[in-house]
Chains A and B, each alone.
Chain A
Amino acid sequence: GAGVSQSPRYKVAKRGQDVALRCDPISGHVSLFWYQQALGQGPEFLTYFQNEAQLDKSGLPSDRFFAERPEGSVSTLKIQRTQQEDSAVYLCASSPSGRAGETQYFGPGTRLLVL
């Protein structure tokens, strides 16, 4: 079946611009995660949804970052007033139920470059 998809794959933004990144999880997956991966580093947790409920947003770096999943399927990560330090790959992952130890399946990521 289809895996996790993300769009756009690449985004160039001018500093101060708002951006919206979309994630389509695997159909039926309850849990959805967002991670940020800086160049040469491992992914870092941003936020976690179970259905439409945002259960953990402890990794969001500032109040410029906002995520939503209003109908419990597609999710959008929005970054307001982008800064150069926001340049990174943004990865979305989903898992079937969110049980402890469950594998997370990742999308290809959105590479954001802020000029």
Chain B
Amino acid sequence: DQQVKQNSPSLSVQEGRISILNCDYTNSMFDYFLWYKKYPAEGPTFLISISSIKDKNEDGRFTVFLNKSAKHLSLHIVPSQPGDSAVYFCAAMKYGNKLVFGAGTILRVKS
């Protein structure tokens, strides 16, 4: 039972353009959502998070949008840079603080 789904295994974007990574979830009890970035042979690195009581959170080039009625969130990266090329994981958290991850989306930013 996949509670967090990232339906796009990969995404390719031109440098300078917007990258949009999507994530869907099924459990309405999740109260925090996080995005992590992962380079090969490294652990996931925290990017940005959002509480379920908000619909948008912004940090520099990264913005996360949450649509609770659709149980959908997205990560926007503007402008995309070659160094953004990595695997992006969407994760959700409920009471107890354990994270439930999606399978990840590979982002390639072409220069």
- Residues of A near B97 (CB, < 8 A) are 31, 33, 48, 95, 98, 100-102, 104
The interface bits of chain A over 72-115 (1 if a CB of B lies within 8 angstroms of the residue's CB, else 0) are: 00000000000000000001010100101111111111000000
The 3 closest A-B pairs by CB, nearest first: A42-B101, A106-B43, A101-B32
User: In the complex the two chains form, what is the Cα distance from A48 to B98 in whole Å?
Assistant: 8
Contact residues of A with B, CB < 8 Å? 4, 31, 33, 35, 40-45, 48, 55-56, 59, 91, 93, 95, 98, 100-109
| Nearest CB of B to A33, in Å | 7
| Nearest CB of A to B93, in Å | 6
Given A41-B103, A106-B43, answer yes or no on A101-B93 (Cβ-Cβ < 8 Å). Answer: yes
Contact B49 A103 (CB under 8 A): yes
Contact A105 B98 (CB under 8 A): no
Contact A55 B96 (CB under 8 A): yes
- Residues of B near A42 (CB, < 8 A) are 4, 6, 89, 91, 101-104
User: In the complex the two chains form, what is the Cα distance from A98 to B4 in whole Å?
Assistant: 22
| Nearest CB of A to B108, in Å | 17
- Residues of A near B103 (CB, < 8 A) are 40-42
The interface bits of chain B over 19-47 (1 if a CB of A lies within 8 angstroms of the residue's CB, else 0) are: 00000000000011010100001111110
Contact B43 A56 (CB under 8 A): no
User: In the complex the two chains form, what is the Cα distance from A105 to B44 in whole Å?
Assistant: 8
Contact B100 A106 (CB under 8 A): no
